[in-house]
C-alpha cells in the first residue's frame, strides 16, 4: 500500500527552516528598534544638551547610545550567522533528494545550481532587506509624529521608490529569465562536449563547437547585460530619490525650525529616520536580480522534484527471483511521444539465459532500459515476479538487478567501490564478481589492485578494463535479473569466452540473464533467443529454433535478422 506524501520536499525544507527564520525576524525587530538610537541621540543632543550645555547629560546620553549600538552590532552579527546556518540547513535538507532525482532523471547539474542560488539568496543581503522592509511604514509614521509635513515628504519618497520597484520588476524579469535559459543551454553543451572530449580533439571539432557554444553564451551575456543596464539605471534613480528625499527633509525641517515650528533636533532626526525607512526599498531594488534568480530557481527546482519524485514509498516486497513479463508494452524515450517499441509480449523464467539481437536502431537498448526500470512504458506493463517494477522499493530492486549499458561509465573512487556499487564492500562478493567477469587477473595487476583509484569516467583505464569492471559491477551479489547490453564490444576473444562462461555460471545459480548483441553469433549458446526489428518482437523461442531462421545467409547476417519466417 502506498502512502501519499503530503508535503513537497522543497516546501518541507522551507518549513524546517521556518523556526530559524522566525528567530531572524525577532532579531530584525530588535535591530530596527536599535536603529532609532542615532536619530534619538541627535534629537536629544540638539534639543537638550546644546540648550542646557550640560556635559553630564551629554555623557549619559553618549554612554547609553554607545551601549545600544554595541548590542545592535552584536545582533547584526548573530542575524548573519543564523542566516548562514539556515542556508546550510536548507541545503542539507534537500541535497540528498536533489542528488537522487538528478541521478534518476539525468537532469544534469542545473538542479544543483538552482539549489545553490536559493541558498545564496537566503544568506545574502537581499533577504535581510525583506525582513527590514515591514519597518518602512513604521519609520514613516515616526516621521509623521515629528511633524506631518516631514511625514508627507517621507511618504512621497517611499511611494516613488515603490513605483521604481515595480518598474524594475517589469524591465528586468524577462531578460533575466531568457538569459538564464541561454546560459543553461551553453552549460549543457559544454558538459556534452566534455564527456566526448576524445572525439572532439581527435576530429578537430573544437572550432565548430565553439561557434555553437558562443551563440548561446553570448546571447545569454547580451540579455544579462541588458537587464543589468536597466537595473543600473533604475538603481541610480532609486539612490537619487532616497538622497533627494533626505535633502528635502532637511530643507523642510530647516524651514520649520526657522519659523520655530519644530527644533533643529527634529530636522536631523527626521532625516536619519527617513533614510532608514527608504534603505530597505533601495536595497530591494539593488538586489532585485538576485531575488528574480532565486524565484526562478525555486520554480525550476520545485518542478524538477515534482516530476522526478514518486507519489509514495512502495511497500516492501520479498527479494525477486527473476521472472520477467512484458505485457503488450509500448514505449518511447523520455520527453518524446513517438513509440520506439510497440506491442512487446514475452515471459522469461527465472534461471534462464536469453539472447536479444536485431539490427541497429531496432529497439534493443530501449527494451533493456524497460527491463531494468530505467524507462517507464507509455502503455502496457513490465512485471518482475508478478509485480510492476514501480511497486518495488529501490532498496530491494536495485541490488537485485545487474545492468551493463552500451556506454560503460565508471565513477571516481576505487575499483572495489565501483564493483560494490559504492555500498558497503563485501570483499568476497567483489572478488567473485570480478572473477565472473574475467577481470580479477587484470585488477590485481593494477598498481594498487582493488584499491586502485579510478579517475573521472575511468579515463586512466583502457576500454576493455572499463568494460570488465562494468561487468563485475553488474554481477556483484549475483542479482536475480542481469541485463547486458553489448557486453563484449571492447573485449577480445578471451573476454567473450569469459562472458559466456559467466552467463552459464549465473544461470546455474538462479539468475535470469539477458544478453544483448548486434551479431547473433555472440549470443549463440543461450537457452532462448528473441529478435527485435523496427520496434517489434519478430522472433522468440528456443535458440535451436530461432537461430537457423535468422542466420540463413551467413555472409549477410545483419541484413537477414528479423526476416519473415
Residue 538, helix vs strand vs coil: strand
What is the arithmetic mean of pLDDT over 406-433? 87
% of the chain with per-residue pLDDT over 70: 91
How far apart CA 427 and CA 425 sit, in angstroms, is 6
Q: What is the strand order of the sheet 387-388 is part of?
A: 341-348, 324-331, 379-384, 387-388
Domain range 3-309, its CATH number among 3.40.50.300, 3.90.79.10, 3.20.80.10, 1.20.1560.10: 1.20.1560.10
Tell me: the pLDDT tens digits for 72-95?
999 989 988 888 888 888 888 777
Instruction: Output 3 or 130, whichever has higher pLDDT.
Output: 130
How confident is the model at residue 313, as a pLDDT? 56
Smallest CA-to-CA distance from 518 within 545, 540, 490, 489 is with: 489
Numbered ranges of CATH 1.20.1560.10 in the chain: 3-309
Query: Residue 542 in contact with residue 527, Cβ under 8 Å?
Result: yes
**pLDDT higher than threshold 90 for residue 70:** yes
Return the CA Rg of the chain. 34
**pLDDT higher than threshold 50 for residue 480:** yes
Give the DSSP H or E segment for 384. Answer: strand 379-384
Smallest CA-to-CA distance from 14 within 179, 113, 127, 125 is with: 127
How confident is the model at residue 3, as a pLDDT? 44
How far apart CA 525 and CA 496 sit, in angstroms, is 12
Instruction: Output 50 or 6, whichever has higher pLDDT.
Output: 50
Strand partners, 341: 331
Q: Which residue has the cell 541484413?
A: 559
Query: Residue 509 in contact with residue 539, Cβ under 8 Å?
Result: no
Residue 326, helix vs strand vs coil: strand
Q: How crowded is residue 41: how many other Cβ atoms within 10 Å of its Cβ?
A: 22
How confident is the model at residue 206, as a pLDDT? 74
Instruction: Output 413 or 74, whichever has higher pLDDT.
Output: 74
State the burial class of residue 429 (Cβ atoms within 10 Å of its Cβ: 0-12, 13-18, 19+): middle
How far apart CA 309 and CA 321 sit, in angstroms, is 27
Q: Which residue has the cell 537522487?
A: 100
What is the arithmetic mean of pLDDT over 526-542? 88
How confident is the model at residue 74, as a pLDDT? 93
SS3 content of the chain, % helix, strand, coil (to 5): 65, 10, 25
pLDDT band at 5 (very low <50, low <70, confident <90, very high): very low
Query: Residue 504 in contact with residue 487, Cβ under 8 Å?
Result: no
How confident is the model at residue 423, as a pLDDT? 84
Numbered ranges of CATH 3.40.50.300 in the chain: 324-560
How far apart CA 376 and CA 308 sit, in angstroms, is 12
Query: Residue 297 in contact with residue 117, Cβ under 8 Å?
Result: yes
Instruction: Output 236 or 521, whichever has higher pLDDT.
Output: 236
Would you put residue 457 in left (φ > 0), alpha (ψ -120 to 50) or beta?
left
What is the arithmetic mean of pLDDT over 300-322? 70
What is the arithmetic mean of pLDDT over 144-165? 88
Give the DSSP H or E segment for 485. Answer: strand 481-485
pLDDT band at 373 (very low <50, low <70, confident <90, very high): confident
pLDDT band at 560 (very low <50, low <70, confident <90, very high): very low
Helical axes 206-258 vs 288-308, angle rounded to 10°? 130
**pLDDT higher than threshold 90 for residue 230:** no
| Fold classified for 324-560 | Rossmann fold (3.40.50)
Question: Mean of the per-residue pLDDT values for the chain?
Answer: 82
Distance from first CA to last CA of the chain, Å, rounded? Answer: 46
How confident is the model at residue 553, as a pLDDT? 46
pLDDT band at 493 (very low <50, low <70, confident <90, very high): confident
pLDDT band at 136 (very low <50, low <70, confident <90, very high): confident
Query: Which set of grid coordinates corresponds to residue 311?
Result: 507519489
Query: Which set of grid coordinates corresponds to residue 52?
Result: 542646557
pLDDT band at 66 (very low <50, low <70, confident <90, very high): very high
Distant-in-sequence, close-in-space partners of 473: CB < 8 Å, separation ≥ 6: 402, 404, 418, 419, 421, 433
The most confident of the ranges 122-126, 351-355, 488-492 is 351-355
How confident is the model at residue 144, as a pLDDT? 92
How far apart CA 266 and CA 150 sit, in angstroms, is 10
Q: In 196-286, which ranges are continuous DSSP H helix?
A: 197-202, 206-258, 264-286
**pLDDT higher than threshold 60 for residue 112:** yes
Tell me: the pLDDT tens digits for 265-309?
888 888 888 888 888 887 777 777 777 778 888 888 888 777 766
What is the arithmetic mean of pLDDT over 397-417? 85
pLDDT band at 149 (very low <50, low <70, confident <90, very high): very high
How confident is the model at residue 432, as a pLDDT? 92
What is the arithmetic mean of pLDDT over 7-25? 80
What is the arithmetic mean of pLDDT over 466-486? 89
What is the arithmetic mean of pLDDT over 120-140? 85
How confident is the model at residue 242, as a pLDDT? 83
% of the chain with per-residue pLDDT over 90: 5
- Angle, CA 542 vertex, CA 539 and CA 547 arms, to 5°: 65
Query: Which set of grid coordinates corresponds to residue 3?
Result: 502512502
Amino acid at each position: 500500500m502506498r502512502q501519499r506524501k503530503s508535503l513537497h520536499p522543497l516546501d518541507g525544507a522551507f518549513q524546517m527552516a521556518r523556526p530559524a527564520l522566525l528567530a531572524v525576524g525577532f532579531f530584525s525587530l530588535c535591530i530596527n528598534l536599535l536603529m532609532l538610537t542615532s536619530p534619538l541621540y541627535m534629537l536629544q543632543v540638539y534639543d537638550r544638551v546644546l540648550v542646557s550645555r550640560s556635559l553630564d547629560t551629554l555623557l549619559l546620553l553618549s554612554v547609553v547610545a554607545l551601549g545600544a549600538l554595541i548590542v545592535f552590532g552584536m545582533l547584526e552579527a548573530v542575524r548573519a550567522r543564523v542566516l548562514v546556518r539556515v542556508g546550510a540547513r536548507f541545503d542539507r535538507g534537500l541535497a540528498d533528494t536533489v542528488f537522487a532525482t538528478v541521478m534518476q532523471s539525468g537532469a544534469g547539474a542545473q538542479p544543483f545550481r538552482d539549489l545553490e542560488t536559493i541558498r545564496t539568496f537566503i544568506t545574502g543581503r537581499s533577504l535581510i532587506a525583506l525582513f527590514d522592509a515591514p519597518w518602512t511604514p513604521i519609520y514613516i509614521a515616526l516621521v509623521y509624529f515629528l511633524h506631518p509635513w516631514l511625514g508627507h515628504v517621507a511618504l512621497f519618497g517611499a511611494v516613488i521608490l515603490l513605483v521604481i520597484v515595480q518598474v524594475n520588476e517589469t524591465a528586468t524579469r524577462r531578460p533575466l529569465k531568457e538569459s538564464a535559459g541561454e546560459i543553461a543551454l551553453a552549460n549543457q553543451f559544454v558538459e556534452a562536449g566534455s564527456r566526448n572530449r576524445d572525439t572532439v580533439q581527435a576530429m578537430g571539432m573544437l572550432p565548430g563547437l565553439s561557434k555553437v557554444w558562443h551563440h548561446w553564451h553570448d546571447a545569454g551575456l547580451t540579455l544579462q547585460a541588458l537587464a543589468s543596464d536597466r537595473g543600473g539605471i533604475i538603481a541610480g534613480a532609486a539612490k537619487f530619490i532616497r538622497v533627494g528625499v533626505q535633502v528635502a527633509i532637511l530643507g523642510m525641517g530647516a524651514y520649520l525650525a526657522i519659523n520655530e515650528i519644530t527644533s533643529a533636533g527634529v530636522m536631523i532626526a527626521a532625516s536619519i529616520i527617513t533614510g532608514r525607512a527608504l534603505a530597505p526599498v533601495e536595497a530591494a531594488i539593488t538586489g532585485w536580480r538576485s531575488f528574480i534568480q532565486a524565484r526562478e530557481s525555486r520554480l525550476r527546482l520545485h518542478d524538477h522534484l515534482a516530476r522526478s519524485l514518486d507519489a509514495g514509498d512502495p511497500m516492501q516486497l520479498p527479494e525477486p527471483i527473476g521472472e520477467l513479463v512484458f505485457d503488450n508494452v509500448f514505449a518511447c524515450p523520455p520527453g518524446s511521444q513517438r513509440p520506439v517499441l510497440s506491442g512487446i509480449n514475452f515471459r522469461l523464467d527465472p534461471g534462464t539465459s536469453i539472447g536479444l539481437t536485431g539490427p541497429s536502431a531496432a529497439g534493443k537498448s530501449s527494451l533493456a532500459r524497460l527491463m531494468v526500470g530505467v524507462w517507464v512504458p507509455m502503455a502496457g506493463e513490465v512485471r518482475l515476479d508478478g509485480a510492476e517494477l514501480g511497486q518495488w522499493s529501490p532498496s530491494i530492486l536495485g541490488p537485485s538487478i545487474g545492468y551493463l549499458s552500451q556506454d560503460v561509465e565508471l565513477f571516481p573512487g576505487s575499483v572495489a567501490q565501483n564493483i560494490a556499487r559504492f555500498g558497503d564492500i563485501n570483499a568476497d562478493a567483489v572478488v567473485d564478481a570480478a572473477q565472473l567477469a574475467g577481470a580479477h587477473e587484470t585488477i590485481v595487476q593494477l598498481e594498487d589492485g582493488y584499491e586502485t583509484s579510478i579517475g573521472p569516467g575511468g579515463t586512466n583505464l583502457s576500454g576493455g578494463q572499463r568494460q570488465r569492471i562494468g561487468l563485475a559491477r553488474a554481477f556483484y551479489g549475483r542479482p536475480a535479473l542481469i541485463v547486458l547490453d553489448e557486453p563484449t564490444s571492447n573485449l577480445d576473444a578471451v573476454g567473450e569466452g569469459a562472458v559466456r562462461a559467466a552467463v552459464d555460471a549465473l544461470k546455474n545459480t538462479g539468475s535470469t540473464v539477458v544478453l544483448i548483441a548486434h551479431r547473433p553469433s555472440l549470443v549463440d549458446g543461450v537457452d532462448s533467443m528473441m529478435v527485435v526489428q523496427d520496434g517489434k518482437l519478430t522472433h522468440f523461442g528456443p535458440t535451436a529454433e530461432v537461430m537457423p531462421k535468422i542466420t540463413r545467409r551467413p555472409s549477410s547476417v545483419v541484413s537477414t535478422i528479423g526476416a519473415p519466417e
